[in-house]
Structure 1
Amino acid sequence: MNLVEPIRDKETINAIKDYLKKRSKRNYLLFLLGINTGMAIADLLKLKVRDVEGWHIVYKRQKTLHKNRPTQRIKLQAPIKKEIREYIKGKPKDEYLFKSRIGHNKPITRAMAYLILREAAEEVGIEAIGTHSMRKTWGYFYYKTHNDVADLQEQMNHADPSYTLRYIGIDQEEKDKRRNKVVL
Protein backbone atom coordinates (compact mmCIF):
# COMPACT_ATOMS: atom_id res chain seq x y z
CA MET A 1 0.00 0.00 0.00
CA ASN A 2 1.34 3.40 -0.98
CA LEU A 3 1.48 6.30 1.44
CA VAL A 4 -0.86 9.07 0.34
CA GLU A 5 -0.67 12.66 1.43
CA PRO A 6 -3.15 15.50 1.69
CA ILE A 7 -3.30 17.95 -1.18
CA ARG A 8 -1.68 21.02 0.40
CA ASP A 9 -1.99 23.48 -2.46
CA LYS A 10 -5.32 25.22 -3.18
CA GLU A 11 -4.37 25.78 -6.83
CA THR A 12 -3.95 22.03 -7.25
CA ILE A 13 -7.29 21.42 -5.53
CA ASN A 14 -8.96 23.89 -7.91
CA ALA A 15 -7.28 22.24 -10.91
CA ILE A 16 -8.67 18.85 -9.84
CA LYS A 17 -12.13 20.36 -9.29
CA ASP A 18 -12.06 21.97 -12.75
CA TYR A 19 -10.92 18.74 -14.39
CA LEU A 20 -13.59 16.63 -12.67
CA LYS A 21 -16.38 19.15 -13.26
CA LYS A 22 -15.72 19.09 -17.02
CA ARG A 23 -15.82 15.27 -17.07
CA SER A 24 -18.58 14.28 -14.65
CA LYS A 25 -20.79 16.11 -12.17
CA ARG A 26 -20.93 12.94 -10.02
CA ASN A 27 -17.14 12.64 -9.80
CA TYR A 28 -16.79 16.36 -9.16
CA LEU A 29 -19.29 16.18 -6.30
CA LEU A 30 -17.51 13.14 -4.82
CA PHE A 31 -14.27 15.12 -4.65
CA LEU A 32 -16.03 18.28 -3.45
CA LEU A 33 -17.75 16.46 -0.57
CA GLY A 34 -14.61 14.49 0.24
CA ILE A 35 -12.43 17.58 0.68
CA ASN A 36 -15.11 19.66 2.41
CA THR A 37 -16.56 17.18 4.91
CA GLY A 38 -13.63 15.00 5.98
CA MET A 39 -15.84 11.94 5.57
CA ALA A 40 -14.16 8.59 4.93
CA ILE A 41 -14.68 7.13 1.47
CA ALA A 42 -16.78 4.24 2.85
CA ASP A 43 -19.17 6.77 4.38
CA LEU A 44 -19.32 8.97 1.28
CA LEU A 45 -20.20 6.04 -0.96
CA LYS A 46 -23.10 5.04 1.31
CA LEU A 47 -24.81 8.44 0.99
CA LYS A 48 -28.18 8.62 -0.70
CA VAL A 49 -29.99 11.67 -2.05
CA ARG A 50 -32.14 11.92 1.11
CA ASP A 51 -28.96 12.17 3.22
CA VAL A 52 -27.92 15.47 1.61
CA GLU A 53 -31.27 17.23 1.17
CA GLY A 54 -30.91 19.34 4.32
CA TRP A 55 -28.08 21.53 5.58
CA HIS A 56 -26.53 18.65 7.55
CA ILE A 57 -25.29 15.22 6.58
CA VAL A 58 -26.23 12.86 9.40
CA TYR A 59 -24.72 9.38 9.22
CA LYS A 60 -23.20 6.54 11.22
CA ARG A 61 -19.53 5.95 10.55
CA GLN A 62 -18.80 2.68 8.76
CA LYS A 63 -15.45 2.28 10.52
CA THR A 64 -15.03 3.63 14.03
CA LEU A 65 -13.27 3.09 17.34
CA HIS A 66 -16.58 2.88 19.16
CA LYS A 67 -18.61 -0.33 19.19
CA ASN A 68 -21.92 1.53 19.16
CA ARG A 69 -21.16 3.83 16.30
CA PRO A 70 -21.89 7.44 17.19
CA THR A 71 -24.01 9.45 14.81
CA GLN A 72 -21.97 12.04 12.96
CA ARG A 73 -23.44 15.37 11.91
CA ILE A 74 -21.72 17.62 9.37
CA LYS A 75 -23.04 21.03 8.36
CA LEU A 76 -22.66 21.82 4.70
CA GLN A 77 -21.27 25.19 3.65
CA ALA A 78 -23.50 27.28 1.35
CA PRO A 79 -21.40 26.87 -1.85
CA ILE A 80 -21.29 23.08 -1.34
CA LYS A 81 -25.03 22.96 -0.64
CA LYS A 82 -25.69 24.86 -3.87
CA GLU A 83 -23.70 22.29 -5.89
CA ILE A 84 -25.54 19.43 -4.17
CA ARG A 85 -28.95 20.99 -4.83
CA GLU A 86 -28.18 21.26 -8.55
CA TYR A 87 -26.89 17.68 -8.67
CA ILE A 88 -29.82 16.00 -6.84
CA LYS A 89 -32.59 17.95 -8.57
CA GLY A 90 -35.18 15.42 -9.80
CA LYS A 91 -33.39 12.37 -8.38
CA PRO A 92 -35.30 9.87 -6.21
CA LYS A 93 -34.61 10.14 -2.47
CA ASP A 94 -33.42 6.52 -2.22
CA GLU A 95 -30.90 6.82 -5.09
CA TYR A 96 -27.23 6.58 -4.14
CA LEU A 97 -25.51 9.94 -4.46
CA PHE A 98 -22.56 8.40 -6.27
CA LYS A 99 -24.51 5.88 -8.31
CA SER A 100 -22.71 3.34 -10.44
CA ARG A 101 -23.71 2.85 -14.05
CA ILE A 102 -23.53 -0.89 -13.37
CA GLY A 103 -26.43 -2.58 -11.61
CA HIS A 104 -29.63 -1.10 -10.25
CA ASN A 105 -29.08 1.74 -7.74
CA LYS A 106 -25.68 0.67 -6.49
CA PRO A 107 -22.93 3.08 -5.45
CA ILE A 108 -19.60 3.18 -7.22
CA THR A 109 -16.95 1.03 -5.57
CA ARG A 110 -13.92 2.21 -3.63
CA ALA A 111 -11.82 0.97 -6.55
CA MET A 112 -13.78 3.17 -8.97
CA ALA A 113 -13.46 6.16 -6.61
CA TYR A 114 -9.70 5.55 -6.57
CA LEU A 115 -9.55 5.42 -10.38
CA ILE A 116 -11.50 8.68 -10.63
CA LEU A 117 -9.06 10.43 -8.28
CA ARG A 118 -6.01 8.80 -9.85
CA GLU A 119 -6.97 10.04 -13.32
CA ALA A 120 -7.57 13.58 -12.08
CA ALA A 121 -4.31 13.54 -10.10
CA GLU A 122 -2.32 12.43 -13.13
CA GLU A 123 -3.86 15.26 -15.12
CA VAL A 124 -2.61 17.86 -12.60
CA GLY A 125 0.73 16.17 -11.85
CA ILE A 126 0.15 14.54 -8.44
CA GLU A 127 1.74 11.15 -7.90
CA ALA A 128 0.73 10.00 -4.42
CA ILE A 129 -3.06 10.16 -4.20
CA GLY A 130 -5.74 7.84 -2.94
CA THR A 131 -9.25 7.94 -1.57
CA HIS A 132 -7.88 8.92 1.85
CA SER A 133 -6.30 12.01 0.29
CA MET A 134 -9.66 13.79 0.32
CA ARG A 135 -10.14 13.22 4.07
CA LYS A 136 -6.49 14.07 4.75
CA THR A 137 -6.83 17.28 2.71
CA TRP A 138 -9.84 18.37 4.76
CA GLY A 139 -7.98 17.55 7.99
CA TYR A 140 -4.86 19.38 6.86
CA PHE A 141 -6.72 22.62 6.03
CA TYR A 142 -8.91 22.34 9.14
CA TYR A 143 -5.78 22.09 11.29
CA LYS A 144 -4.01 24.92 9.45
CA THR A 145 -7.11 27.12 9.93
CA HIS A 146 -7.87 26.36 13.58
CA ASN A 147 -4.59 24.90 14.92
CA ASP A 148 -6.58 22.70 17.33
CA VAL A 149 -5.41 19.11 17.14
CA ALA A 150 -7.73 17.95 19.96
CA ASP A 151 -10.81 19.16 18.08
CA LEU A 152 -9.59 17.65 14.80
CA GLN A 153 -8.77 14.37 16.55
CA GLU A 154 -12.32 14.18 17.88
CA GLN A 155 -13.87 15.04 14.52
CA MET A 156 -11.77 12.44 12.74
CA ASN A 157 -12.47 9.89 15.49
CA HIS A 158 -8.78 9.20 16.11
CA ALA A 159 -7.51 7.78 19.41
CA ASP A 160 -4.35 9.86 19.66
CA PRO A 161 -3.44 13.43 18.63
CA SER A 162 -0.03 12.34 17.36
CA TYR A 163 -1.77 9.91 14.98
CA THR A 164 -4.02 12.72 13.74
CA LEU A 165 -1.00 14.93 12.97
CA ARG A 166 0.76 12.07 11.18
CA TYR A 167 -2.44 11.24 9.27
CA ILE A 168 -2.75 14.76 7.85
CA GLY A 169 0.97 14.97 7.11
CA ILE A 170 1.85 17.67 9.65
CA ASP A 171 4.42 15.55 11.44
CA GLN A 172 6.44 14.94 8.27
CA GLU A 173 5.99 18.52 7.09
CA GLU A 174 7.45 19.82 10.37
CA LYS A 175 10.39 17.39 10.19
CA ASP A 176 11.14 18.52 6.65
CA LYS A 177 11.07 22.21 7.67
CA ARG A 178 13.46 21.58 10.56
CA ARG A 179 15.85 19.60 8.38
CA ASN A 180 15.90 22.36 5.77
CA LYS A 181 17.11 24.79 8.43
CA VAL A 182 20.20 22.71 9.18
CA VAL A 183 22.72 23.23 6.42
CA LEU A 184 26.36 22.53 7.25
Structure 2
Amino acid sequence: MNKGGNPNHPKKGTTIKVDPIKKVKDIKAIKKLLHDKPRDLCLFTLGINTNLRASDLLRITAGMVRGLKAGDELAIKEKKTGKHRRITLNKAATEAIQGLLQSRDYQDDDPIFIGQRGPLTVPSINRLVKGWCRSINLKGNYGSHTLRKSFGYHQRTTFGVGIPELMVAFNHSSQRETLEYLCIQPEEVRSIYMNEL
Protein backbone atom coordinates (compact mmCIF):
# COMPACT_ATOMS: atom_id res chain seq x y z
CA MET A 1 0.00 0.00 0.00
CA ASN A 2 1.22 3.51 -0.76
CA LYS A 3 1.63 6.68 1.28
CA GLY A 4 -1.48 7.56 3.25
CA GLY A 5 -2.86 4.05 2.84
CA ASN A 6 -5.41 4.92 0.13
CA PRO A 7 -5.57 1.93 -2.22
CA ASN A 8 -7.37 4.06 -4.84
CA HIS A 9 -4.53 6.55 -5.07
CA PRO A 10 -2.07 5.78 -7.86
CA LYS A 11 1.48 4.81 -6.91
CA LYS A 12 4.06 7.52 -7.51
CA GLY A 13 4.82 7.76 -11.23
CA THR A 14 1.59 6.05 -12.31
CA THR A 15 -1.88 7.34 -13.08
CA ILE A 16 -5.40 6.02 -13.00
CA LYS A 17 -7.09 6.58 -16.34
CA VAL A 18 -10.67 7.78 -16.21
CA ASP A 19 -13.08 8.00 -19.11
CA PRO A 20 -14.91 11.01 -20.49
CA ILE A 21 -18.70 10.88 -20.73
CA LYS A 22 -18.85 10.38 -24.49
CA LYS A 23 -22.59 10.50 -25.26
CA VAL A 24 -24.57 13.73 -25.07
CA LYS A 25 -27.62 11.69 -24.00
CA ASP A 26 -25.68 10.50 -20.92
CA ILE A 27 -24.76 14.09 -20.05
CA LYS A 28 -28.44 15.03 -20.33
CA ALA A 29 -29.40 12.04 -18.15
CA ILE A 30 -26.99 13.14 -15.40
CA LYS A 31 -28.27 16.75 -15.58
CA LYS A 32 -31.83 15.42 -15.24
CA LEU A 33 -30.74 13.27 -12.27
CA LEU A 34 -29.24 16.36 -10.58
CA HIS A 35 -32.09 18.74 -11.49
CA ASP A 36 -33.18 19.22 -7.85
CA LYS A 37 -29.64 19.37 -6.42
CA PRO A 38 -28.28 22.87 -7.24
CA ARG A 39 -24.79 22.20 -5.85
CA ASP A 40 -24.29 18.94 -7.75
CA LEU A 41 -25.87 20.28 -10.93
CA CYS A 42 -23.57 23.32 -10.82
CA LEU A 43 -20.51 21.19 -10.11
CA PHE A 44 -21.29 18.86 -13.02
CA THR A 45 -22.28 21.65 -15.42
CA LEU A 46 -19.28 23.83 -14.62
CA GLY A 47 -16.96 20.82 -14.79
CA ILE A 48 -18.04 19.73 -18.28
CA ASN A 49 -18.26 23.29 -19.65
CA THR A 50 -14.78 24.40 -18.57
CA ASN A 51 -11.45 22.63 -18.51
CA LEU A 52 -10.90 23.32 -14.82
CA ARG A 53 -9.47 20.56 -12.65
CA ALA A 54 -11.55 19.47 -9.64
CA SER A 55 -9.05 21.19 -7.32
CA ASP A 56 -9.67 24.48 -9.17
CA LEU A 57 -13.46 24.10 -9.16
CA LEU A 58 -13.18 23.85 -5.37
CA ARG A 59 -11.33 27.19 -5.21
CA ILE A 60 -14.26 29.13 -6.68
CA THR A 61 -15.92 31.44 -4.17
CA ALA A 62 -19.31 33.11 -4.38
CA GLY A 63 -17.71 36.53 -4.86
CA MET A 64 -15.77 35.30 -7.92
CA VAL A 65 -18.94 34.30 -9.79
CA ARG A 66 -21.76 36.42 -8.37
CA GLY A 67 -23.47 38.32 -11.19
CA LEU A 68 -21.53 36.69 -14.04
CA LYS A 69 -23.41 36.34 -17.32
CA ALA A 70 -22.73 34.18 -20.37
CA GLY A 71 -19.57 35.45 -22.08
CA ASP A 72 -18.10 36.84 -18.84
CA GLU A 73 -14.77 35.53 -17.59
CA LEU A 74 -13.92 33.71 -14.40
CA ALA A 75 -10.41 34.55 -13.21
CA ILE A 76 -8.71 31.82 -11.20
CA LYS A 77 -5.23 30.81 -10.10
CA GLU A 78 -4.64 27.13 -10.86
CA LYS A 79 -3.68 25.08 -7.84
CA LYS A 80 -1.49 22.63 -9.79
CA THR A 81 0.45 25.10 -11.95
CA GLY A 82 0.13 28.35 -9.98
CA LYS A 83 -0.77 30.07 -13.27
CA HIS A 84 -3.54 32.65 -13.52
CA ARG A 85 -6.27 31.64 -15.95
CA ARG A 86 -9.27 33.36 -17.42
CA ILE A 87 -12.14 31.07 -18.39
CA THR A 88 -15.04 32.36 -20.48
CA LEU A 89 -18.29 30.96 -19.11
CA ASN A 90 -21.14 29.85 -21.36
CA LYS A 91 -24.88 30.13 -20.69
CA ALA A 92 -25.21 26.63 -19.16
CA ALA A 93 -22.40 27.38 -16.69
CA THR A 94 -23.68 30.80 -15.62
CA GLU A 95 -27.26 29.56 -15.22
CA ALA A 96 -26.06 26.67 -13.03
CA ILE A 97 -23.94 29.08 -10.94
CA GLN A 98 -26.82 31.52 -10.43
CA GLY A 99 -29.14 28.62 -9.51
CA LEU A 100 -26.64 27.49 -6.88
CA LEU A 101 -26.14 31.00 -5.46
CA GLN A 102 -29.92 31.38 -5.10
CA SER A 103 -30.21 28.05 -3.24
CA ARG A 104 -28.51 29.26 -0.04
CA ASP A 105 -27.01 32.34 1.58
CA TYR A 106 -23.40 32.71 0.44
CA GLN A 107 -20.89 35.27 1.70
CA ASP A 108 -18.43 36.44 -0.97
CA ASP A 109 -15.54 34.46 0.61
CA ASP A 110 -17.54 31.20 0.83
CA PRO A 111 -16.53 28.39 -1.54
CA ILE A 112 -19.56 27.62 -3.68
CA PHE A 113 -19.18 23.85 -3.39
CA ILE A 114 -19.96 23.09 0.25
CA GLY A 115 -21.02 19.79 1.81
CA GLN A 116 -22.53 18.98 5.19
CA ARG A 117 -19.10 19.00 6.86
CA GLY A 118 -17.66 22.02 5.05
CA PRO A 119 -16.09 22.57 1.62
CA LEU A 120 -16.05 19.58 -0.76
CA THR A 121 -12.74 17.84 -1.46
CA VAL A 122 -11.36 16.22 -4.61
CA PRO A 123 -12.09 12.71 -3.18
CA SER A 124 -15.69 13.75 -2.50
CA ILE A 125 -16.06 14.98 -6.12
CA ASN A 126 -14.58 11.65 -7.22
CA ARG A 127 -17.28 9.78 -5.26
CA LEU A 128 -20.04 12.05 -6.59
CA VAL A 129 -19.02 11.59 -10.25
CA LYS A 130 -18.71 7.80 -9.83
CA GLY A 131 -22.17 7.74 -8.22
CA TRP A 132 -23.80 9.83 -10.96
CA CYS A 133 -22.32 7.63 -13.69
CA ARG A 134 -23.37 4.47 -11.84
CA SER A 135 -26.91 5.87 -11.42
CA ILE A 136 -27.38 6.05 -15.19
CA ASN A 137 -25.64 2.68 -15.72
CA LEU A 138 -22.58 4.04 -17.53
CA LYS A 139 -19.91 1.40 -18.06
CA GLY A 140 -16.30 2.46 -17.61
CA ASN A 141 -14.03 4.12 -15.06
CA TYR A 142 -15.17 7.56 -13.93
CA GLY A 143 -13.93 10.08 -11.38
CA SER A 144 -13.38 13.77 -10.75
CA HIS A 145 -11.14 14.11 -13.83
CA THR A 146 -14.01 12.78 -15.99
CA LEU A 147 -15.53 16.27 -15.99
CA ARG A 148 -12.44 17.93 -17.51
CA LYS A 149 -11.95 15.04 -19.95
CA SER A 150 -15.60 15.25 -21.04
CA PHE A 151 -15.11 18.95 -21.81
CA GLY A 152 -12.17 18.18 -24.10
CA TYR A 153 -13.78 15.14 -25.70
CA HIS A 154 -16.93 17.06 -26.68
CA GLN A 155 -15.02 20.14 -27.79
CA ARG A 156 -13.28 17.85 -30.28
CA THR A 157 -16.05 15.43 -31.30
CA THR A 158 -19.25 17.46 -30.86
CA PHE A 159 -17.98 20.95 -31.70
CA GLY A 160 -15.02 20.16 -33.99
CA VAL A 161 -12.38 22.14 -32.06
CA GLY A 162 -8.89 21.30 -33.32
CA ILE A 163 -6.14 19.57 -31.35
CA PRO A 164 -3.81 22.64 -31.44
CA GLU A 165 -6.47 24.84 -29.79
CA LEU A 166 -7.25 22.17 -27.20
CA MET A 167 -3.54 21.72 -26.49
CA VAL A 168 -3.37 25.42 -25.58
CA ALA A 169 -6.62 25.28 -23.59
CA PHE A 170 -5.34 22.33 -21.53
CA ASN A 171 -1.86 23.83 -21.22
CA HIS A 172 -0.31 20.62 -22.58
CA SER A 173 3.28 20.60 -23.80
CA SER A 174 2.60 18.55 -26.95
CA GLN A 175 -0.23 17.56 -29.27
CA ARG A 176 0.58 13.92 -28.47
CA GLU A 177 -0.22 14.59 -24.80
CA THR A 178 -3.54 16.13 -25.84
CA LEU A 179 -4.38 13.20 -28.14
CA GLU A 180 -3.78 10.73 -25.29
CA TYR A 181 -5.68 12.90 -22.84
CA LEU A 182 -8.72 13.12 -25.09
CA CYS A 183 -8.90 9.32 -25.42
CA ILE A 184 -8.35 9.27 -29.17
CA GLN A 185 -8.73 5.56 -29.66
CA PRO A 186 -6.56 3.39 -31.92
CA GLU A 187 -9.76 2.55 -33.86
CA GLU A 188 -10.21 6.23 -34.70
CA VAL A 189 -6.66 6.42 -36.02
CA ARG A 190 -7.16 3.13 -37.94
CA SER A 191 -10.38 4.40 -39.47
CA ILE A 192 -8.60 7.28 -41.23
CA TYR A 193 -6.86 4.74 -43.43
CA MET A 194 -10.28 3.65 -44.70
CA ASN A 195 -10.99 7.12 -46.13
CA GLU A 196 -10.79 6.79 -49.92
CA LEU A 197 -9.79 9.49 -52.39
Q: Does TM, normalized by the shorter one, top 0.5?
A: yes
What is the aligned partner in structure 2 of residue 86 from structure 1?
Answer: 99
Take 2:65 and 2:167, find their aligned partners in 1: how far apart are those partners?
24
Q: Which has the higher helix share?
A: 1
**Matched length:** 172
Give 1:50's aligned amino acid: G
CA contact (8 A) 2:38 2:96 kept: no
Alignment of 1:112-131 (within 5 A): 112-126=124-138, 127-131=140-144
How far is 1:119 from its partner?
1.0
- TM-score if structure 1 supplies the norm length? 0.85
Q: Which runs of 5 or more residues in structure 2 are unaligned? A: 1-9, 11-15
Q: Which runs of 5 or more residues in structure 1 are unaligned? A: none
Take 1:143 and 1:79, find their aligned partners in 2: how far apart are those partners?
19
Take 2:185 and 2:134, find their aligned partners in 1: how far apart are those partners?
26
For CA contacts below 8 A with separation 6 or more, give which structure has more relative contact order: 1
- For residue 44 of structure 1, the aligned residue among 53, 57, 61 is 57
- For residue 149 of structure 1, the aligned residue among 135, 149, 163 is 163
CA 1:19 to 1:50, structure 2 compared with 1: closer, same or farther past 3 Å? same
Alignment of 1:1-184 (within 5 A): 1=10, 2-22=16-36, 24-53=37-66, 54=68, 55-64=72-81, 69-89=82-102, 90-102=105-117, 106-126=118-138, 127-144=140-157, 145-172=159-186, 174-175=188-189, 177=191
Structure 1 stretches of 4+ with a deviation exceeding 6 A read none
How far is 1:79 from its partner?
3.1
CA contact (8 A) 1:5 1:168 kept: no
Identity of aligned residues (%): 27
CA contact (8 A) 1:100 1:108 kept: yes
How far is 1:41 from its partner?
0.5
CA 1:121 to 1:51, structure 2 compared with 1: closer, same or farther past 3 Å? same
- TM-score if structure 2 supplies the norm length? 0.80
